[in-house]
Amino acid sequence: MISESVEKYKTKVKEYSTDHKLDLLDELDRIQEAGGRVIYWDGRRVLGVLATSRAIGDN
């Protein structure tokens, strides 16, 4: 995990961000709706190459 946004106050923790993992159905749907494909080849990959589904600067 590169970064995660959380706030800790006393004993409570509030998560502000979610990981964009290829195992999550909503992330798979987002990629497919944008015209991408996710295949399983030595782990899930976008278009058979990328192991991450989002990056800084993606449109």
Does residue 6 belong to any structural domain of this protein? no
Confidence of residue 58 (pLDDT cuts 50, 70, 90): low
Does residue 33 belong to any structural domain of this protein? yes
Instruction: Find the mean pLDDT for residues 3-28.
Output: 71
- Per the CB < 8 A criterion, the answer to whether 31 and 38 are in contact is yes
Does residue 28 belong to any structural domain of this protein? yes
Q: Which domain holds residue 31?
A: 19-59
Q: Give the model confidence (pLDDT) of 20-51 as tens digits.
A: 777 788 888 888 898 888 777 777 777 666 66
What pTM was computed for the model?
Answer: 0.52
Question: Into how many domains does the chain fold?
Answer: 1
Does residue 42 belong to any structural domain of this protein? yes
- Per the CB < 8 A criterion, the answer to whether 53 and 46 are in contact is yes
Show Cβ contacts of residue 26 under 8 Å, excluding neighbours closer than 6 positions: none
Does residue 48 belong to any structural domain of this protein? yes
Does residue 41 belong to any structural domain of this protein? yes
pLDDT at 2: 45
pLDDT at 43: 73
Residue 37 tokens read as: 């494909």
Does residue 40 belong to any structural domain of this protein? yes
Does residue 54 belong to any structural domain of this protein? yes
pLDDT at 31: 83
